[in-house]
């Protein structure tokens, strides 16, 4: 039997094997989900919420084990795994289980036209049916978890394909969801090669597809989904900018840049990559940032005395090295660098200066422990450079003036902008996550992300079923036309006399509603 061999990136040791599946297993899972979905959607939301609360309790009771599993499978430190994966997932399960009932409740927008007040509009949220989710290796637990939870609470069944590189986390995910006592077919975790996952799910007939990954693969999935008009939700990464204003708290900004740029060894779609700092404070900022980066400890986490773990894949190591080499070849300088142990998956934390937008590190997603710092003459220039990208996932503004920072944040073309912080909004269950431009389509997290798991059904109920006909029904006549025109003039005409004349014509037409002839 073909299988995925799971390797600890930090040590190279084998930590497990997981059977490999194919399109036929995806089809079978989709068919089982299709059979299970009507009963699951008919299950009262209170019971679905209780199932997710059981999952929450399992996460809380097994936090240490989950953090260790994630760290060994992905290469990050246990602290990173706990803070950025286990804690946000636990909070998300709790938050969405509590909010789902209110969010799924029918809405009543009220009439826009008083004469049609008898036509009462109701907005109902209906689950898509079977939702497919394809998730990445950099945050293998928390990225798919919120999507899975929201989908299940909304009444969908879920097919989840987690990254081949982190299949031990996938097994842990299955154990967590099993703790909720879900009926058979409601949730299935699959292991198949990444390139097969999207086509297999679309061919199996999923009703909506969620994908987190590269821009190139996202475009391919949109193309594949087009013939069936299957909706896709895409989170496709970023090359995120940090704007440091002249009045910023430089100690906090430097500490935030070090964490936001290096956490998870920089393998973070919403992490700091480009820093635009006002020239008046650039030297002082760089001094503080350099000191913090040089002090970072890179290595294998055995006693929690490590800040950065290993890169997850050798392919990503080579890409980061290529970006640094390209920058150096075009005039950039290494301003600061941490120590780094030997080992193919370890990279030092690095600060680059003398950079420009002709370099790959400033144009593309590096996805590694590298930040590039560029002084600017003013914050208008900083905004312009921040927006000089085809990506727009997140960004941040650092200033003591909250009002000025908010105004700058509104000008940054990114889906998420933080003030005096970076990245951590992904851990806020209430905060929508997603990007502008090539960073993707749709949202996850928050009410907006929850709504992605449903489609709106409009139900219009006539409160006058005993009326014989509506004013605009057949047969047509001059009297009907003049009466309906009178409605327009009465509501929107200029002048009291014109409105009164319109009302008189409308009143003459009203008895038509109650005549059978």
- Among all residues, which ones are annotated catalytic? 235, 269
Rounded CA separation 271/265 (Å):
10
- As a residue count, the chain comes to 517
Residue pair 328/295 in contact by the 8 Å Cβ criterion? no
Q: Of the candidates 215, 264, 260, which has an alpha carbon nearest to the alpha carbon of residue 74?
A: 264
Return the beta strands (E) in 305-393 as ranges. 333-337, 350-353, 370-376, 391-392
Joined tokens for residue 473 = 């029904």
The per-type count for the chain, helices as H runs and strands as E runs, is 18, 19
Separation of CA 116 from chain center: 39
For 494, counting Cβ atoms within 10 Å of its Cβ (0-12 exposed, 13-18 middle, 19+ buried), the class is exposed
Q: What is the sign of the dihedral through the CA atoms of 18, 22, 26 and 27?
A: negative
Separation of CA 97 from chain center: 18
Helix then strand then coil, in percent of the chain rounded to 5, is: 45, 20, 35
Rounded CA separation 290/366 (Å):
19
Annotate 290-301 with three-state secondary structure. HHHHHCCCECCC
Residue pair 368/266 in contact by the 8 Å Cβ criterion? yes
């Amino acid at each position: 039997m073909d299988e995925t061999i799971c390797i600890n990136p930090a040590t190279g040791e084998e930590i497990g094997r997981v059977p490999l599946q194919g399109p036929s297993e995806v089809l079978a899972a989709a068919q089982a989900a299709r059979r299970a979905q009507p009963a699951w959607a008919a299950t009262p939301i209170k019971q679905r919420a209780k199932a997710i609360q059981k999952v929450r309790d399992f996460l809380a009771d097994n936090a240490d084990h989950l953090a260790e599993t994630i760290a060994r499978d992905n290469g990050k430190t246990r602290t990173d795994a706990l803070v950025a994966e286990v804690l946000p997932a636990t909070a998300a399960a709790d938050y969405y289980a509590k909010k789902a009932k209110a969010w799924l409740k029918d809405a009543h927008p009220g009439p826009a036209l008083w004469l049609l007040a008898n036509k009462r509009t109701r907005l109902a949220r209906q689950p898509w049916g079977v939702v497919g989710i394809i998730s990445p290796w950099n945050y293998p637990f928390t990225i798919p978890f919120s999507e899975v939870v929201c989908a299940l609470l909304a009444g969908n069944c879920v097919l989840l394909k987690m990254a081949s590189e982190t299949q031990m986390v996938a097994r842990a995910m299955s154990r967590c969801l099993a703790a909720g006592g879900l009926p058979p077919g409601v949730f299935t975790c699959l292991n198949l090669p990444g390139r097969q996952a999207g086509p297999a799910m679309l061919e199996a007939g999923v009703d909506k597809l969620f994908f987190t990954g590269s821009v190139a693969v996202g475009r391919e999935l949109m193309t594949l989904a087009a013939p069936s008009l299957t909706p896709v939700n895409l989170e496709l990464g970023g090359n995120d900018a940090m704007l440091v204003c002249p009045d910023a708290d430089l100690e906090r900004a430097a500490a935030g840049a070090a964490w936001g740029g290096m956490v998870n060894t920089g393998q973070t779609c919403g992490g700091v990559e480009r820093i635009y700092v006002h020239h008046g404070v650039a030297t002082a900022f760089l001094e503080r940032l350099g000191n913090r980066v040089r002090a970072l400890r890179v290595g294998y986490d055995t006693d929690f005395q490590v800040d950065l773990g290993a890169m997850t894949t050798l392919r990503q190591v080579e890409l980061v090295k290529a970006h640094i080499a390209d920058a150096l070849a075009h005039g950039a300088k290494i301003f600061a660098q941490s120590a780094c142990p030997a080992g193919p998956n370890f990279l030092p934390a690095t600060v680059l200066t003398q950079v420009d937008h002709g370099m790959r590190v400033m144009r593309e997603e590096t996805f590694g422990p590298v930040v590039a710092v560029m002084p600017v003459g003013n914050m208008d220039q900083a905004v312009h450079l921040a927006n000089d990208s085809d990506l727009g996932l997140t960004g941040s503004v650092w200033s003591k003036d909250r009002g000025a920072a908010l105004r700058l944040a509104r000008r940054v073309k990114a889906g998420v902008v933080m003030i005096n912080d970076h990245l951590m909004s992904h851990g806020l269950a209430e905060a929508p996550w997603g990007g502008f431009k090539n960073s993707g389509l749709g949202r996850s997290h928050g009410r907006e992300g929850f709504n992605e798991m449903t489609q709106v059904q409009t139900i219009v109920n006539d409160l006058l079923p005993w009326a014989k006909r509506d004013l605009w029904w057949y047969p047509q006549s001059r009297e009907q036309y003049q009466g309906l025109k009178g409605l327009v003039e009465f509501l929107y005409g200029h002048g009291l006399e014109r409105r009164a004349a319109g009302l008189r014509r409308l009143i003459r037409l009203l008895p038509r509603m109650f005549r059978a002839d």
